[in-house]
Structure 1
Amino acid sequence: MTSATHAALDLMRYESPLPRTTASSRIYDDLRQRILSLELPPGTNLLRAELAREYDVSQTPLRDALQRLEQDGLIKTYPQSRTLVTRIDMPMINEALFLRRALETEVVVGLSQNAPPETIARARTVIEMQVEVAKDRSQLRRFQELDEYFHFLLFEGLRRENLHSLLRSRSGDLDRVRRLQVHSDEKLRVILKGHADVIDAIEAGKVQRAIEEIRHHTYKPADWADEYRDKFPDYFA
Structure 2
Amino acid sequence: MPTLARQEFSEVRTRAQRIKKISASDQIHAALRERIITLELAPGRNLSRQEIAEFYGVSQTPVRDAMLKLEEEGLLAIYPQSKTEVSKIDVEHARETQFLRLSIELEATRQLALSHDPQLLENARKALAHQREALASGNLEQFAKHDRLFHYSLLEAADVANLWDLVTMRSGHIDRLRNLNLPDPGKAANITYYHARILDAIEAGDTASTDDAVRGHLTGTLSQVDEIRSRNPEFF
> Matches of 2:213 and 2:134 in 1, distance apart?
23
Secondary structure in structure 2 of the residue aligned to 1:83: strand
Answer yes or no: is 1:87 the counterpart of 2:94: no
Secondary structure in structure 1 of the residue aligned to 2:40: coil
**Deviation of 1:221 (Å):** 7.6
> Matches of 2:143 and 2:21 in 1, distance apart?
23
Aligned residue for 1:190? Answer: 190
> Matches of 2:211 and 2:126 in 1, distance apart?
22
> Matches of 1:118 and 1:215 in 2, distance apart?
24
Aligned residue for 2:105? Answer: 104
Asked whether the 8 Å contact 1:116–1:157 carries over to 2, the reply is: no
Q: Deviations over 1:10-45 (max 9, x none)?
A: xxxx9xxxx972211111111011001110001111
> Matches of 1:92 and 1:71 in 2, distance apart?
13
Gaps of 5+ in 2: 1-14
**Deviation of 1:127 (Å):** 0.9
**Deviation of 1:110 (Å):** 2.0
RMSD: 2.2
Asked whether the 8 Å contact 1:20–1:26 carries over to 2, the reply is: no
CA spacing shift, 1:157–1:221, aligned 2, 3 Å: closer
Q: TM-score, normalised by structure 2?
A: 0.84
Letter of the structure 1 residue corresponding to residue 168 of structure 2: R
Identity %: 39
Moved more, 92-101 or 221-230: 221-230
Secondary structure in structure 2 of the residue aligned to 1:134: helix
> Matches of 1:20 and 1:235 in 2, distance apart?
35
Letter of the structure 1 residue corresponding to residue 65 of structure 2: D
> Matches of 1:20 and 1:108 in 2, distance apart?
33
CA spacing shift, 1:223–1:200, aligned 2, 3 Å: closer
> Matches of 2:118 and 2:69 in 1, distance apart?
34
**Deviation of 1:222 (Å):** 5.9
> Matches of 1:217 and 1:127 in 2, distance apart?
14
Moved more, 20-29 or 123-132: 20-29
- Tell me the matched-pair count: 217
Aligned residue for 1:147? Answer: 147
> Matches of 1:175 and 1:105 in 2, distance apart?
19
> Matches of 1:58 and 1:161 in 2, distance apart?
34
**Deviation of 1:151 (Å):** 0.6
Q: TM-score, normalised by structure 1?
A: 0.83
**Deviation of 1:92 (Å):** 1.2
> Matches of 1:50 and 1:116 in 2, distance apart?
51
CA spacing shift, 1:49–1:96, aligned 2, 3 Å: same
Q: Deviations over 1:40-72 (max 9, x none)?
A: 001111100111111122222222211211111
Asked whether the 8 Å contact 1:112–1:206 carries over to 2, the reply is: yes
Letter of the structure 2 residue corresponding to residue 196 of structure 1: A
Answer yes or no: is 1:126 the counterpart of 2:116: no
CA spacing shift, 1:115–1:77, aligned 2, 3 Å: farther
